[in-house]
Structure 1
Amino acid sequence: MSDLRIRYAVHTDIEPVLRFWQEAAEGTSISDDPDGVARLLARDPESLLLAERDSRLVGTVIAGFDGWRCSAYRLAVHPGCRRQGVATALLEAAERRFEALGGRRVDAMVLEANERAHGAWAAVGYHREDHWRRWVKPL
């Protein structure tokens, strides 16, 4: 895994990240557009972590912290790079960030139907909490 580099996204990464999510991410988000990602980076410049191999984007995770809760979103790994430790490296970097910020627990957004993702999250120590449900209202 020594050839894997984890770094924070910058403004010039926005379009490549959006293209990457179309190929590698399961599902879409209402914020999957240039303005949404730009607002994320403006609000928290270290929240979007990128994994690169040979200068090629192979994975992402959003590691957001609002001062109260640590939240992981948009964990995505290029289909040709799965099961190679990319997701594990991204989540370890996210967790280090959360710990440095004083976070106590990570909440992860994982699509119910994405069973492959369930196994990946479980493999790194996350578990499902069935007594909670996400409630949303688009603005």
Structure 2
Amino acid sequence: MNDLQIRCAGPSDIDTVLQFWREAAEGTSISDDRDGVARLVARDPEALLLAERDGVLAGTVIAGFDGWRCHLYRLAVHPGHRRQGIGGALLAAAEERFRALGGRRGDAMVLDRNETAQHAWRAADYAPEPQWSRWVKHLDG
């Protein structure tokens, strides 16, 4: 897998990432727009990790750290690149980032209906915590 390159996204990657998520990610989020991703990249330039093979985007993960907790979002691998270790490589890079920042636990947001993703997270030694429930309020209206 030495032809895989993992790097941080920059402002010039935003449109490519958004298109990639439409093709590779399960569902969309209210913040999956140019302004939302631009804010992420501006606020934390090392949070959005991209995996590229031969210069083509093959996977993404957002590794957000707020100084207290580590949060993982948008782990997505292009269907044509799945089952080749890309998701694992992205998670390893995210976890390395968290450790360097002093993070001690990674939390992943995974859709209940996305069984493929649940399998991938379990394979990476993440497990659901049934005692916790996620509560959400959309702040834009």
TM-score (norm 2): 0.98
Deviation at 1:21, TM superposition (A): 0.1
Aligned to 1:39: 39
- What is the 5 A alignment of 1:1-139? 1-139=1-139
**Superimposed CA distance per residue, residues 96-131 of structure 1 (whole angstroms, 9 cap, x where no aligned partner):** 000000000000000100011111001111011011
Give the SS at the match of 1:88: helix
Deviation at 1:7, TM superposition (A): 0.2
Q: Distance in 1 between matches of 2:33 and 2:114?
A: 22
Moved over 2 A (4+): none
Q: Distance in 1 between matches of 2:114 and 2:131?
A: 19
Q: Distance in 2 between matches of 1:132 and 1:41?
A: 29
Counterpart residue identity of residue 4, structure 1: L
Give the SS at the match of 2:103: coil
Give the SS at the match of 1:49: strand
**Superimposed CA distance per residue, residues 29-66 of structure 1 (whole angstroms, 9 cap, x where no aligned partner):** 11100000000011100000000000000000000000
Give the SS at the match of 1:68: coil
Counterpart residue identity of residue 85, structure 1: G
